[in-house]
């Protein structure tokens, strides 16, 4: 009998492109290959119309306006554009930036780069639940604070921040400050409404929401108009904010992925919450010493991040080849450093014994049952070794 296929439980690292998304993308690789910036023929017009529709779809998924959306290569670029672009535009107001300790590397490293060029940087700590508290944020704000960046959903723990309250505090204490939010892990998982969040600029990425890799977007408020200095110069695409020929098939895919997520999110979440709870219960009833990292109440439905007593996560993951999951953040595993997110929340020992499991649209009940057996057996083996 052939071996069962591996089980993918790493949907926070990336998701499979939905076949419906791929289907809509394909014609834009073949017959509709025009450049969306070509104004003189139908090839260009067709591409431009497809981009316009996708822009509407992405904007709708954020509660924003299409004219506020700037396409770029992904959220790493969008975060760089947001932080550096806003910092450059508003430096005269004061050169102090505030970020949370659990931000993605594309925010943290960008903030450190600003620090290198003369900005003051404050990194706000989080509690054991992974959340930034109002008093901690208030303590970090100064008269010179110009940029604040706090993510909506954490990529390792799935914890959901109370951005409306945090943004309200920022705007109340520092009326001139610009509030940025990395909403990459929130898109398609919880409703996003830029007005209700109270943010000025926000980033999203396609490949976390069953769209293709290599495309993302920056949303920035138009009324009153937020100025963002471009970081890539050239032909003046995207209103001069991000030059470069638009990757039309990827943008079409991103738009479609947003549209599907908007339609299916509630039902999908209900299913994933049941699977996630079953995964936790199954593991707990098979092996002891499991603790959930981060708030369980304020968390997306599809994430489970657990510490397993006495089990080094790297050893466990290499033991369980059949289940794809991660220790710390796969997004930064190129650097193979311990997770800075868990490091900010729990003890080094607990971080060392933690694994992240991310369920997704294509995760089945059968896979969850099989994963429980595989992971429990791996834990028993590592503990017995």
Residues lying near ligand PMP in the complex (CB under 6 A):
74-76, 79, 104, 106, 151, 155, 182, 184-185, 205, 216, 331
Q: How far is the CB of 8 from ligand PMP (least distance, A)?
A: 16
Residues 6+ positions from 189 with CB-CB distance below 8 Å: 153, 265, 269, 300, 301, 302
Antiparallel, parallel or unpaired: β 120-124 and 145-149: unpaired
As measured in angstroms, the least distance from the Cβ of 296 to ligand PMP is 20
- Specify the 3-state DSSP secondary structure of 179: strand
365-384 vs 248-286: helix crossing angle, rounded to 10 = 60
The residue annotated as part of the active site, out of 72, 258, 331, 374, is: 331
Give every CB contact of residue 18 below 8 A, 6+ residues apart in sequence. Answer: 210, 211, 256, 257, 260, 361
Nearer to ligand PMP, 3 or 336 (CB): 336
What are the b/e assignments for 274-288, b being 16+ CB within 10 Å? ebbeebbebbeeebe
- Min separation Cβ 41 and ligand PMP, Å: 32
Enter the tokens of residue 109: 């490293």
Closest CA to 253 of 218, 220, 219, 209: 209
C-beta closer to ligand PMP: residue 62 or 287: 62
Residue with tokens 């017959």: 31
Q: Which helix (H) or strand (E) holds 286?
A: helix 248-286
Question: Rounded CA gap, 25 and 254, in Å?
Answer: 9
- Distance, CA of 305 to CA of 9 (rounded, Å): 11
Closer by beta carbon to ligand PMP, 151 or else 174:
151
8 A C-beta contact, residue 9 and residue 375: no
- Least distance to ligand PMP from the beta carbon of 342, Å? 15
* Shortest spacing between CB 162 and ligand PMP, in angstroms: 17
**Residue 34 or 216: which CB sits closer to ligand PMP?**
216
Peptide bond into 224 cis (omega under 30): yes
Is 46 or 79 the residue whose CB approaches ligand PMP more closely?
79
DSSP string, 4-31: PPPEE-BTTT--PPPHHHHHHHGGGTTT
**CB of 268: closest distance to ligand PMP in angstroms?**
19
Is 331 a residue of the active site? yes
Tokens for 201, please give them. 């600029």
The smaller minimum CB distance to ligand PMP, of residues 181 and 379, is found at: 181
DSSP 58-117: HHHHHT--GGGEEEES-HHHHHHHHHHHHHHHHGGG--EEEEETT--HHHHHHHHHHHHT
Residue of minimal Cβ distance to ligand PMP: 74
Minimum CB–partner distance for residue 365 and ligand PMP (Å): 26
Nearer to ligand PMP, 46 or 80 (CB): 80
Instruction: Cite the active site residues.
Output: 331
């Amino acid at each position: 009998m052939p071996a069962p296929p591996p089980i993918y439980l790493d949907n926070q690292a990336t998701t499979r492109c939905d076949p419906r998304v791929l289907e809509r993308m394909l014609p834009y690789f073949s017959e509709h290959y025009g450049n969306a910036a070509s104004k003189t023929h139908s090839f260009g017009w067709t591409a431009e119309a497809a981009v316009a529709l996708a822009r509407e779809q992405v904007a709708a998924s954020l509660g924003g306006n299409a004219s506020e959306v700037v396409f770029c290569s992904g959220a790493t670029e969008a975060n760089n554009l947001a932080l550096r672009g806003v910092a450059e535009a508003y430096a005269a107001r004061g050169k102090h930036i505030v970020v949370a300790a659990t931000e993605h590397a594309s925010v943290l490293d960008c903030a450190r780069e600003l620090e290198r060029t003369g900005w003051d940087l404050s990194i706000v700590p989080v509690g054991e639940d992974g959340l930034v508290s109002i008093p901690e944020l208030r303590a970090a704000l100064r008269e010179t604070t110009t940029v604040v960046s706090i993510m909506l959903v954490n990529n390792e723990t799935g914890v959901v921040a109370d951005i409306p309250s945090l943004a309200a505090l920022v705007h109340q204490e520092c009326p001139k400050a610009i509030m940025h939010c990395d909403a990459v892990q929130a898109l398609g998982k919880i409703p996003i409404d830029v007005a209700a969040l109270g943010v000025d600029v926000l980033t999203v990425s396609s490949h976390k929401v069953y769209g293709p890799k290599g495309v993302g977007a920056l949303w920035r408020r138009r009324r009153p108009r937020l100025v963002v200095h471009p970081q890539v110069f050239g032909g003046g695409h995207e209103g001069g904010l991000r030059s470069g020929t638009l990757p039309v098939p990827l943008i079409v895919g991103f738009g479609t992925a947003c549209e599907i997520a908007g339609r299916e999110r509630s039902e999908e979440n209900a299913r994933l919450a049941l699977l996630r709870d079953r995964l936790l219960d199954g593991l707990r009833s098979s092996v002891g010493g499991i603790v959930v990292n981060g708030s369980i109440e304020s968390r997306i439905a599809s994430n489970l991040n657990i510490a397993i007593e006495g089990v080094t996560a790297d050893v466990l993951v290499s033991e369980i080849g059949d289940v794809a999951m991660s220790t710390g953040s796969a997004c930064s595993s190129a650097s193979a450093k311990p997770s800075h997110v868990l490091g900010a929340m729990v003890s080094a020992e607990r971080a060392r014994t933690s694994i992240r499991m991310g369920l997704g649209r294509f995760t089945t009940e059968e896979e969850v049952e099989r994963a429980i057996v595989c992971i429990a057996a791996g834990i028993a083996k590592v503990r017995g070794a």
